[in-house]
Structure 1
Amino acid sequence: MVSMVQNQDVQQKDLDHAVVVAVTSRALFESETEEDDGPAYRGGVAFPLLQALQRVNEHLLEKDPTESLLFDVVLMTTDRQQQQQSSGFMSSTRHHGLEVSRFCFSSEEDFVESLLKNNIHVFVTTDENEAFQANQKGVLSLLLDENSASCPSEQLRVLFCENSIIRPGSGPTSSSREAAQTFSSQLGKMRQKLETSHSPLCFTLVTLHGGKDRCCGALKALRSVGVSVDEAYCLAGAPRSPILSLLRPHFLLSDGCSGSED
């Protein structure tokens, strides 16, 4: 059983052009704890991400009030107990000023179907099993952890690891990699509409192995899908944890780049 409720407090996005991001309620709120200054749940690890998405939308609309290429956020709840707290999630988004367009209530068995039905471009969760299930069905899924809570809220940071880049002519790709390519292209179009300096949307490339030629190849692959990066780092086999701690990306697009050492 799946139900979708529109948030009447925010203006609905044009779904033909918006980039739809679904975030689980467990990632966005700590539903067992309330704010000290009111009956609202405290922000969880995805809280800075939603604030950063909102900053991008604000800047795009400042440039063009008719802009339709915007982030559209769906809050998804699959936990039966949390679904009984639906009014709490709705009032909490209002309390924190978060622009969540819709609230989706789904069973654990049907959540992937609801992602596909609602044309979700990227699914954000703290549950590794949920991320795996969604990726298996072709929905780009990103896993957040406790480090995500320290990400900046004023700038959306996207990190591309070399393994995530789909090179032209590289042969068949899985549906999840095709979804990553589509998402990257959409982000690139957004970036082109924003100012070049002090942008609320920042792209970084990290190559894990090889030298400058490998890095240049990765840059060209990104440009082929409309993405021009702000910074590029060639680790040449060096540990990856220090650079990830420094960059603190919200979205880490990768087939294997993580905070762990090789």
Structure 2
Amino acid sequence: MVSTLQNTDVKQKDADRAVVVAVASHAVFEPGTEDSDGVYRPGVAFPLLQALQTVNQRLLQENQEETLLFDVVLICTDAPQQQNHENIRSSTRHHGLEVGRFCFADQEDFADALLEHGVLLFLSTDQSEVSTAWQKGVFSALLDEHAASAPSDQLRVLFCGDGAVMPSSGQPAQSFLTQLGELRRRFDLLHSPVCVSVLTSHGGRERCAAALRTLRAYGVEADEAYCLAGAPRGPMLSLLRPHLLLSDARQDD
């Protein structure tokens, strides 16, 4: 069963133009951490939502009529959080998060809800949720500890290897990347609230160049590129602190 509530605290985005990003509520708020007022403690996805808001604010500063904005949908599949759904809403308000809609769904139905809401990217800390969304044709990624330490004043998107952006990812990836590329072009190279990076763990410059060309074919120009040539990528991830890590699962850290 799926239940969706609009957040009346925020202005709703243009459904035809918005970049719809769905985030699992258990990644935004740590389950079981309510205080006496029912407010949850921030989770690993908290800096991501703040960064998305920063991008929206900068876009509207440039053009008050801008419609190409991030639209966040909070997907709640955690049973205790569903039972205390008012705490989810009040926690969002307390922390000043710009969430457009709250969607409450069980594990059997949440992926269908993603399609219903036109989600271009789904993010969760639960690998099974990410896999289920992929099987339904929704471009998805796993959030990890790097997202928790990412900055709130710049959205950092890191493509690790070329697996996540190869044509095998199909239309779900292409739709998100096309929108991301258009949004990135709204800003100049300096002081941009969006930073797109590419990192290849294996191979030489040719593989890195191939990854850059693949992204460019989708309309995404990378700001930075790193070729590790077999070196472990863990230290670089700790330095870059990406919100979104779109990675080839075959590679090791």
Shorter-chain TM-score bucket reads over 0.9
Counterpart amino acid of residue 255 in structure 1: D
SS of the counterpart of 1:239? Answer: coil
Alpha-carbon distance in structure 2 between the residues aligned to 1:119 and 1:215:
32
Partner residue, 2:165: 165
CA distance in structure 1 between the partners assigned to 2:43 and 2:54 by the alignment: 18
Match 1:191 to one of 184, 200, 207: 184
Aligned match of 2:2: 2
Give deviations 1:39-61, integer Å, cap 9, x for gaps: 42111111000000100101111
Secondary structure in 2 matching 1:27? helix
Aligned partners of 2:203 and 2:196: how far apart in 1? Answer: 21
Provide, for residues 94-137 of structure 1, a one-character-per-residue CA deviation record: whole Å limited to 9, x for no partner.
Answer: 11110000000112211111111111111111111111111111
Quote the residue 1:22 is aligned against: 22
Closer, same or farther in 2 for the Cα pair 1:62/1:35, shift >3 Å?
A: farther
**Residues 64 and 211 (structure 1), Cα distance of their counterparts in 2 relative to 1, 3 Å cut:** same
Report the residue type matching 1:185 in the other structure. Answer: T
Greater CA drift, 38-47 or 133-142: 38-47
C-alpha displacement of 1:194: 1.6
Deviations 1:190-236 (A, max 9, x none): 01002321111001011222222222222222111111111101111
Contact 2:147–2:244 (CA under 8 A) maintained in structure 1 = no
Give the match for residue 12 of structure 1: 12
Q: Which runs of 5+ in 1 are unaligned?
A: 168-172
Contact kept in structure 2, 1:180 and 1:253, CA below 8 Å:
no
Q: TM-score, normalised by structure 1?
A: 0.91
- Contact (CA 8 Å) 1:140, 1:177: kept in 2 or not? no
Larger deviation: 150-159 or 247-256? Answer: 247-256
Matched, 1:245 2:244: no
Indicate the residue corresponding to 2:174 in structure 1: 181
Q: 1:222 pairs with 215, 225, 228, which one?
A: 215
Q: Which residue of 2 aligns with 1:212?
A: 205
SS in 2 for 1:160: strand
What are the superposed Cα offsets for residues 138-189 of structure 1, whole Å, 9 maximum, x if unpaired? 111111123321111111100112222326xxxxx3xx54211221111110
Q: Distance in 1 between matches of 2:35 and 2:84?
A: 16
Match of 1:170 in 2: none
**Structure 2: how far apart are the matches of 1:159 and 1:200?**
14
- 1:81 equivalenced with 2:74 (yes/no): no
CA RMSD, 1 decimal: 1.7
Report Cα offsets for 1:46-90 as digits up to 9, x if no partner.
100000010010111111111111100011112232211111111
Decide which moves more: 10-19 or 27-36.
Answer: 27-36
Shift of 1:34: 3.6
TM-score (norm 2): 0.94
Residue 139 of structure 1 corresponds to which residue in structure 2? 138
Contact kept, 8 Å, 1:151 with 1:249, in 2: the verdict is: yes
Residue 124 of structure 1 corresponds to 123
Instruction: Show the counterpart of 1:95.
Output: 94
Number of aligned residues: 252
CA distance in 2, matches of 1:111, 1:254: 23
